[in-house]
């Protein structure tokens, strides 16, 4: 476990995540210094020295905005992580710092936490993945190489051991036709656990990785029953893998790696996709992936076998602070993904926001999370700065439930509420030759009296495409729509290809955007 903790810490440090490193560094006895002084409170705060409690537990009360409502968990410093909803609308989530599953009732606004008698005293683990199936909550446990089942009816826990290896990390989890499926993040494989063999203490069959020694991120199924997942090595590229789950009907350990490999097809990831953590498949079988170390997310079309890169809006300065001036290109850090009713939903972990993109129209709405923890950003004494480590989220109808790992909150976004304005473009596709320009119109029609800042982002890496918006900010009134000219230019040395330009208008609570497809011809 110690070796694994070091590996986890090293990796997440690279992708700007210190979560598991924090857990690893607090295991085992050590000589106490003034910085490690611990005041006993009888709460989960006691797992951290006094000096670290603001960083890992919380810095203030739950907050709310026009679109986001936060709820403070009554027990201090639980560190909520993965979250799901059941068929009755109850919200279930895991707690890193207590080993418990908890429930939130949206009607009564009451929390209930369920003690796990099997959990070791002061044990902590990152429960990255969680799913609900047939009245049970299934979730992964990276510290103790386990998957767990929690019965929502009898409130009992059952631990299922995962193959014991120091380099294993059970990550995301799904249940499909009585098969529990888990990606082993460090073990370079997808594992299948047959619930029919549950009493045999776990019989697993694994899909081998086409790239030995690679990371294996989250996964999803398409409409034909194929399973899609990624294998990749940090800064060395990777592959998107399509596995024929339909032909994989006999879950026995006698299956050989060579037999399983024949059921896989791999597609090289583009070099701009460095850390594909989240993955989801939409109703047209397009595969969507989030790039956690950048501000990008990608679509893979299995028919054309082509990748398309998208970008989020600029990270708000209030999130990353940049008091020292060292942050030259702040990243939003898209992390997990989910598809719901034609919408791609993803958490922007380093932007303290959750994005919702309409796949059909390619319009994007990013909801700002009100709570911020300054101990995770370059804030120094700057007020209203930082981020709350929004990791887990789940979509339930028009609501998105999420967790704030270092603020001890769960939150809800109401996506049915009208946006402060409507954003329309005169055209969403532009074709240019090298050196040419085009002008389009951005029209903003206000639903409330407000002001909005205008922004733009592009997938162009070398100024192949540049964008100029005439106004930096616009005042909006209900009776007076505003039309703003936008100029898009292809440089004289632009490489032919297709680029995405994101045009945005932002208020303190939300950013509303529309993608423009720019094609540069020979």
For the segment 439-449, what is each residue's pLDDT rounded down to a tens digit?
999 999 999 88
First to last CA, the chain: 55
pTM across the whole model: 0.92
108 dihedral zone (left: phi>0; alpha: psi -120 to 50; beta): alpha
Q: Which residues contact 19 (CB under 8 A, 6 or more apart)?
A: 12, 126, 389, 391, 405
C-alpha distances in Å from residue 497, one per residue of 123, 361, 362, 447 = 52, 21, 19, 37
**How many domains does the chain fold into?**
1
| pLDDT for res 389 | 97
Q: Do the bridges between strand 110-114 and strand 130-133 make them parallel or antiparallel, or are there none, so unpaired?
A: unpaired
pLDDT digits (tens, 9 = 90+) for 216-269: 999 999 999 999 999 999 888 999 999 988 877 554 544 545 566 678 899 999
- Does any domain span residue 447? yes
340 within some domain: no
Q: What pLDDT does 261 receive?
A: 66
* 12-71: pLDDT as tens digits: 433 334 444 344 444 444 455 666 789 999 999 999 999 999 999 999 999 999 999 999
* Alpha-carbon span 227 to 205, nearest angstrom: 15
Structure confidence at residue 10 (pLDDT):
33
State the average pLDDT over residues 353-382: 96
Cα–Cα dist 70/401, whole Å: 10
The residue that leads in pLDDT, 383 or 391, is: 391
For residue 26, the model assigns a pLDDT of 45
Q: What's the confidence (pLDDT) of residue 381?
A: 87
Which of 451, 459, 455 lies closest to 442, judged by CA? 455
Flag whether 196 is in a domain: no
Q: What angle do CA 464, 239, 18 make, to 5 degrees?
A: 85
Pairing status of strand 306-311 against strand 296-301: antiparallel
For 25-44, give one letter per residue: b (16+ CB within 10 A) or e: ebeeeeeeeeeeeeeeeeeb
Residue carrying structure tokens 């997942």: 229
pLDDT for 479 equals 74
* Cβ proximity of 190 and 206 under 8 Å: yes
Paired tokens of 371 = 């709570």
At CB < 8 A and 24+ separation, what contacts does 293-299 make?
293/14, 293/15, 293/16, 293/331, 293/333, 294/331, 294/333, 294/334, 295/331, 295/332, 295/333, 295/334, 295/351, 295/457, 296/272, 296/334, 296/459, 297/334, 297/337, 297/344, 297/346, 298/270, 298/273
The more confidently predicted of residues 209 and 268 is: 268
What tokens were used for 149?
């089942």
Given pLDDT bands bounded at 50, 70 and 90, which one contains residue 7? very low
Provide the pLDDT for residue 163. Answer: 78
Dihedral of alpha carbons 417, 421, 427, 428, sign: negative
Cα separation, 241 vs 189, whole angstroms = 11
Question: Is there a domain that residue 438 lies in?
Answer: yes
Does 509 map to a domain?
yes
Q: Output the pLDDT for position 30.
A: 44
**What's the DSSP call for residue 27?**
S
Model pLDDT, residue 210: 86
Given this model, what pLDDT does residue 19 score?
Answer: 42
**Domain that includes residue 465, residue range:** 421-520
Q: Which of 261, 144, 240, 256 is nearest to 205 (CA)?
A: 256
Which pLDDT value is given to residue 393? 98
- Decide if pLDDT at 213 tops 70: yes
Residue 156 forms part of a structural domain:
no
Q: Among 1-15, 45-59, 66-80, 346-360, which stretch is predicted with the lowest mean pLDDT? A: 1-15
Q: Are strands 409-414 and 473-476 parallel, antiparallel or unpaired?
A: unpaired
Asked whether residue 131 is domain-assigned, the answer is no
The pLDDT tens digits of the residues spanning 265-286 come to 999 999 999 999 999 999 999 9
Determine the average pLDDT of the residues in 379-388. Answer: 92
Q: Which CATH number goes with the domain that contains 516?
A: 2.60.40.10
Predicted local confidence at residue 12, as pLDDT: 42
Average pLDDT for the chain: 89
Question: CA 117, 120, 124, 125 torsion: positive or negative?
Answer: negative
The pLDDT, as a whole number, for residue 165 is 65
How far apart, in whole angstroms, are the C-alpha atoms of residue 175 and residue 499? 37
What is the rounded average pLDDT of the residues 316-337?
93
Residue matched to tokens 């992964």: 140
Mean pLDDT of 324-338: 94
As a whole number, mean pLDDT of residues 150-178 equals 89
- Return the CA Rg of the chain: 23
Average pLDDT over residues 358-362: 98
What pLDDT is stored for residue 383 in this prediction?
87
Give the strand order in the sheet containing 437-446. 421-425, 437-446, 482-490, 465-469
Q: Is 344 helix (H, G, I), strand (E, B) or coil?
A: strand
Residue 478, domain member (yes or no): yes
Average pLDDT of span 133-141? 96
pLDDT at 259: 63
């Amino acid at each position: 476990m110690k070796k694994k903790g070091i590996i986890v810490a090293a990796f997440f440090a690279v992708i700007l995540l210190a979560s598991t490193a924090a857990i690893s560094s607090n295991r085992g006895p050590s000589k106490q210094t003034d910085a490690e002084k611990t005041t006993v409170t009888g709460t989960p705060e006691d797992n951290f020295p006094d000096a670290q409690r603001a960083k890992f537990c919380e810095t203030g009360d739950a907050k709310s905005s026009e679109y986001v409502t936060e709820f403070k968990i009554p027990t201090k410093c639980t560190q909520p992580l993965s979250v799901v909803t059941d068929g009755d609308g109850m919200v279930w989530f895991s707690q890193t710092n207590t080993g418990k599953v908890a429930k939130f009732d949206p009607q009564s606004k009451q929390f209930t936490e369920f003690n796990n008698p099997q959990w070791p005293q002061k044990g902590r683990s990152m429960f990255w993945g969680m799913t609900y199936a047939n009245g049970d909550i299934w979730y992964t446990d990276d510290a103790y190489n386990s998957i767990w089942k929690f019965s929502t009816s009898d409130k009992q826990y059952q631990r299922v051991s995962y193959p014991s290896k120091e380099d294993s990390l059970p990550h995301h989890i799904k249940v499909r036709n009585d098969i529990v499926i888990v990606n082993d993040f460090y073990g370079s494989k997808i594992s299948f656990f047959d619930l029919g063999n549950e009493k045999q203490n776990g019989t697993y069959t694994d899909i081998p990785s086409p790239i030995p020694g690679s990371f294996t991120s989250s996964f999803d199924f398409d409409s034909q029953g194929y399973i899609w997942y990624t294998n990749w090595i940090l800064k060395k590229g990777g592959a998107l893998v399509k596995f024929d789950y339909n032909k994989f009907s006999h879950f026995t350990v006698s299956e050989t790696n060579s037999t399983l490999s024949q059921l896989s097809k791999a597609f090289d990831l583009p070099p701009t996709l460095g850390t594909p953590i989240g993955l989801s498949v939409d109703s047209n079988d397009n595969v969507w992936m989030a790039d956690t170390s950048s501000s990008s997310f990608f679509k893979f079309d299995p028919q054309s076998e082509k990748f398309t890169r998208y970008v989020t809006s600029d990270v708000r300065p209030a999130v990353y602070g940049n008091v020292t001036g060292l942050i030259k290109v702040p990243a939003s850090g898209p992390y997990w993904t989910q598809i719901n009713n034609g919408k791609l939903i993803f958490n922007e972990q380093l932007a303290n926001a959750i994005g919702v993109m309409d796949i059909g129209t390619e319009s994007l709405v990013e909801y700002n999370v009100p709570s911020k923890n300054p101990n995770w950003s370059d804030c120094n004494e700057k007020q209203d700065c930082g981020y709350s480590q929004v990791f887990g989220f789940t979509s339930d109808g028009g609501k998105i439930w999420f967790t704030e790992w270092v603020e001890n909150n769960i939150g809800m976004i109401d996506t049915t509420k009208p946006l402060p304005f409507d954003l329309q473009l005169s055209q969403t596709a532009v074709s240019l030759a090298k050196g040419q320009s085009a002008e389009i119109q951005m029209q903003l029609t206000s639903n409330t009296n407000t002001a909005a800042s205008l922004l733009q982002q592009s997938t162009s890496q070398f100024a192949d495409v540049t964008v100029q918006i005439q106004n930096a900010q616009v005042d909006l009134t209900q009776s007076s729509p505003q039309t703003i000219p936008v100029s898009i230019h292809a440089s004289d040395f632009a490489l032919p290809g297709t680029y995405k330009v994101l045009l945005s208008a932002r208020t303190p609570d939300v950013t509303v955007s529309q993608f423009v497809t720019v094609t540069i011809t020979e």
